[in-house]
A = this chain, B = another copy of it.
Amino acid sequence: MTLHWTPSGRDGAARAGTLRTAHGEVPTPVFMPVGTAGTVKAMTADAVRATGARMILGNTYHLMLRPGAERVARLGGLHRLADWRGPILTDSGGFQVMSLAALRKMDADGVTFQSHIDGSKHRLTPERSVEIQRLLGADVTMCFDECTPFPATEAQAAASMRLSMRWAARCREAFLPRDGHGLFGIVQGSTFPELRAESVAALIGIGFEGYAIGGLAVGEGQEAMFATLDATLPLLPADRPRYLMGVGTPADIIGAIRRGIDMFDCVIPTRSGRTGRAYTGRGVLNIRNAGHAEDLRPLDAECSCPACRSHSRAYLHHLFKAGEMLGPMLLTWHNIQYYQDLMARLRSAILEGRFEEEAAAIEAGWAMTEEE
């Protein structure tokens, strides 16, 4: 049986369910920590598991360059390499080719580019992207698409979206069906509702195991992002998982779950953790601020991670001031724990029909922030 999603509860448009994959089941809504190059930065696989995370994301662009897709396959796949026993979703590489690679050259068939690491030349096409994701061992493969820049004119957005739809059909052709594995189509069309609707219709015509919303969180702002979700999500089949790519802050996530999104990934918790920003029940806290130097309270009294359970803000402040690796390690762990706890809390609320109350309570906590 292919990868599939079964609903278990609904509150307004917010959905709770279970994603069934070759590497186990994942309760949704789910937040997938980003394991760019085969590691969630600054965390062991055991630590990622300890937060309750059940599914992670890997980046095709990074992994195809280093260690290389064929090498990962020879080493038994990404699951074995990274000691990640749960499901893995891989992106298609398209987004990072556009943001990281040098000397990109697009054509109707794909994109040729130079590695940002060593300048070596590479090519990605829909077929090659799907092949790489198979070599990595992805449970969820993403269609290779063009991430439309923001802002774009309607004509630019239309042309870009239609190219992505042609590529989506080629990805579907190239994808090898396997038990518990699936291919997700990606809705494009920038912030133009008609283009989003055209994109949804094209993808449904092809047929996918899940549908992602791409081209958001690229500078359009939360209001435009939510408006695009409002215009798009009702058009998607109710029995398929919906994934909002690259989003976001806790507030973004609550708003997107409210509108019917099931899956998320974002570098915010890991990247923020490395720079000393902690997400807590009382908003965001910058542990480098001098006010924490003698504060014996935990980062977040409600949190069960080692940073909060075993240490004071004063210690974490010291670690960051001293440039000790343990600072980023502990704050990354905390932020991933915060995101996982947030998802579990929202999921329970959906199942119990009190999503809005829970969201309001969480937002009221953030408003009690001590800083920023």
Q: List residues of chain A with CB under 8 Å of any chain B CB.
A: 37-39, 41-46, 62, 66-67, 71, 74-76, 81-83, 293-294, 296, 306, 310-312, 314-315, 318-319, 321-322, 324-326, 328-330
Determine whether the beta carbon of A314 is less than 8 Å from that of B81: yes
Determine whether the beta carbon of A41 is less than 8 Å from that of B326: yes
Determine whether the beta carbon of A315 is less than 8 Å from that of B66: no
Determine whether the beta carbon of B82 is less than 8 Å from that of A315: yes
As for how many copies of this chain the complex holds, the number is 2
Determine whether the beta carbon of B325 is less than 8 Å from that of A41: yes
Determine whether the beta carbon of A74 is less than 8 Å from that of B39: no
Determine whether the beta carbon of A296 is less than 8 Å from that of B76: yes
Determine whether the beta carbon of B294 is less than 8 Å from that of A324: no
Determine whether the beta carbon of A83 is less than 8 Å from that of B326: no
Q: For A325, list chain B residues within 8 Å (CB).
A: 41-42, 325, 328-329
| Seed contacts A45-B306, A325-B329; 6 additional CB < 8 Å A-B pairs | A38-B322, A38-B324, A67-B293, A75-B294, A81-B312, A325-B325
Given contacts A75-B296, A326-B39, A329-B325, contact A45 B318 (CB under 8 A): no
Q: How far is the CA of A326 from the CA of B44 in the complex (A)?
A: 7
Q: For A318, list chain B residues within 8 Å (CB).
A: 37-38, 66-67, 81
Q: How far is the CA of A37 from the CA of B81 in the complex (A)?
A: 33
Determine whether the beta carbon of B83 is less than 8 Å from that of A324: no
Determine whether the beta carbon of B328 is less than 8 Å from that of A46: no
Closest chain-B Cβ to A188's Cβ sits at a distance in Å of: 30
Q: How far is the CA of A45 from the CA of B330 in the complex (A)?
A: 11
Determine whether the beta carbon of A71 is less than 8 Å from that of B310: no
Q: Which one, B75, B293, B310, B315, contacts A314 given CB within 8 A?
A: B75
Closest chain-B Cβ to A189's Cβ sits at a distance in Å of: 35
Q: How far is the CA of A310 from the CA of B80 in the complex (A)?
A: 9
**In the complex, the 3 A-B pairs of residues with the closest C-beta atoms, listed nearest first:** A83-B310, A39-B326, A42-B325
What residue in chain B is nearest A309 (Cβ atoms)? B83
Q: For A43, list chain B residues within 8 Å (CB).
A: 326
What residue in chain B is nearest A314 (Cβ atoms)? B75
Q: For A75, list chain B residues within 8 Å (CB).
A: 294, 296, 312, 314-315
